[in-house]
Amino acid sequence: MNVLLLGSGGRECALARKLRQSQSLSNLYIAPGNGGTLEYGKNRAIAATDFTAIENFCLENAIDILICGPEQPAVAGIWDYFQKEELKHIQVVAPSQKSAMLEGSKAFAKEFMTKNNIPTAQYLEITQDNLAHAYQWFDEKSPPYVIKADGLAEGKGVVLPESKEEATKLIDEFILDRKFGASSAKVVLEEFLDGLEFSVFIYTNGQQYVMLPNAKDYKRRFEGNKGLNTGGMGCISPVPFVDKALMEQVESQVIKPTINGLQKDSMPYTGFIYFGLILCQGQAKVIEYNCRLGDPETEVILPRMDCDLLALFQAGFSNQLESFNPEISHQSASTVMLVSEGYPEAYEKGFPITGIENVHQANVFHAGTTIKDFQLVTNGGRVLAVTGLGENLKEALFNSYDAIERIRFKGMKFRSDIGFEFEGD
């Protein structure tokens, strides 16, 4: 089978590695890919949102399966684009544009959850027309407040102000100054939920689904969960406090109602769903939906799946997901992100990366790297994800951190406390 994978991050590097191991793979192309995906397939300089170029490439290279890694092409409608007659023979792993609204619009997701009785925080939708209701909300409720830009904002669209004054200033910036352009013309205010966060993943064809390993990511830049939010500084899987009873609750109260909701509203879905959850006094509530795998979550989920990824996709296309076994390993996985100095704010790129060849007990997934003059160099804020596996979390973490000691680039930074709160578990 010939496969085209869209995206360029650590998630796509982990997907490319897993696809390369598939029995039925012939050619693997990644558009645009990065310095690490080259090891598993051929990179092509096509933007993941350039649908015309993607169409031409698919037809010229007899692509059988198109896999969408990131959210932007999904929200822009890649699945719908491939429904046209001349592209219909190509199988697409992506949600329809309407389904991708679960990630593309926070207000849409809240409405979907409310309508389908899926546990989530109370909320209020705000635009310029009812801005006064937001000020009233800040008067009536106590901080912290939760303000979310409705549309995609590269992980920066959620703020948690600690005072009424700050909340008022921020909502004005979102709505009146359009801090995130059209994405913040509408915002969602949410009740603040206090609890432990974790994430659950499924692969679905819109009717049936397969449960994938759960994970917990570390979003803040610095140790002790301090500093700015990032795309993710590290991740662990499985999550020690998520037991069988909690997973059963999530399946019956969140996953099944979500699948039923997709069917009721005629929302075609072929792909991964990422449920961002928070456990509040024994009750799991949905914080967000993502219509894709997470990054760096993928870098701990896929290494724990011993199944053939193309076989999983085929089972979805042929309605056999219910009997598909993802062969989830009992091992623990951890990944630690190596980032550029300054990230998530301004940083420099282009520094040579050395030492990866000396890593033997971990997988090094490339996130922001490229090849320049035959040399691997940094090319993003998040540069490498170093994944260790082990019989328990402690062993997995040892393998991640031991590997990191062998890798070097100028200004290399990482969090030294990924997963440590659970090490004794």
Binding interface with ligand AMP (CB under 6 A): 121, 146, 148, 158, 190, 192-193, 197, 219, 276, 287-288
CB 269 within 8 A of CB 262: yes
Candidate segments 91-99, 255-263, 290-298, 414-422, binder of ligand GLY by CB under 6 A: 290-298
**Which segments of 147-226 does DSSP mark as H helices, in order?**
164-175
The DSSP line for 163-223 is SHHHHHHHHHHHHTS-TTGGGGSSEEEE----SEEEEEEEEE-SS-EEE---BEE--EEET
Binding of residue 72 to ligand GLY (CB under 6 A)? no
Phi/psi for 71 (5° steps) reads: -80, -30
| Binds ligand GLY (CB under 6 A): choice among 80, 217, 299, 308 | 217
Q: What is the β-pairing status of strands 28-32 and 3-7?
A: parallel
How far, in Å, CA of 237 to CA of 404, rounded?
19
| Binds ligand GLY (CB under 6 A): choice among 295, 343, 362, 376 | 295
The nearest distance, CB 246 to ligand AMP, in angstroms, is 18
Binding of residue 290 to ligand GLY (CB under 6 A)? yes
The nearest distance, CB 195 to ligand GLY, in angstroms, is 18
**Which segments of 204-287 does DSSP mark as H helices, in order?**
244-250, 256-264
What's the Cα-to-Cα distance from 237 to each of 216, 224, 423, rounded to whole Å? 7, 19, 12
Look at residue 217 and give the partner it binds from ligand GLY, ligand AMP, none, a contact being a CB closer than 5 to 8 Å depending on partner kind.
Answer: ligand GLY
Residue nearest to ligand GLY (CB): 294
| Binds ligand GLY (CB under 6 A): choice among 70, 95, 294, 380 | 294
What's the Cα-to-Cα distance from 297 to each of 24, 114, 310, rounded to whole Å? 25, 27, 19
Binding of residue 104 to ligand GLY (CB under 6 A)? no
Instruction: Report the interhelical angle of 309-317 vs 10-20 (nearest 10°).
Output: 90
Candidate segments 82-90, 166-174, 291-299, 366-374, binder of ligand GLY by CB under 6 A: 291-299
Binding of residue 204 to ligand GLY (CB under 6 A)? no
The nearest distance, CB 129 to ligand AMP, in angstroms, is 23
The nearest distance, CB 184 to ligand GLY, in angstroms, is 18
Look at residue 190 and give the partner it binds from ligand AMP, ligand GLY, none, a contact being a CB closer than 5 to 8 Å depending on partner kind.
Answer: ligand AMP
How far, in Å, CA of 218 to CA of 199, rounded?
11
Binding site for ligand GLY (CB under 6 A): 217, 231-232, 290, 294-295, 297
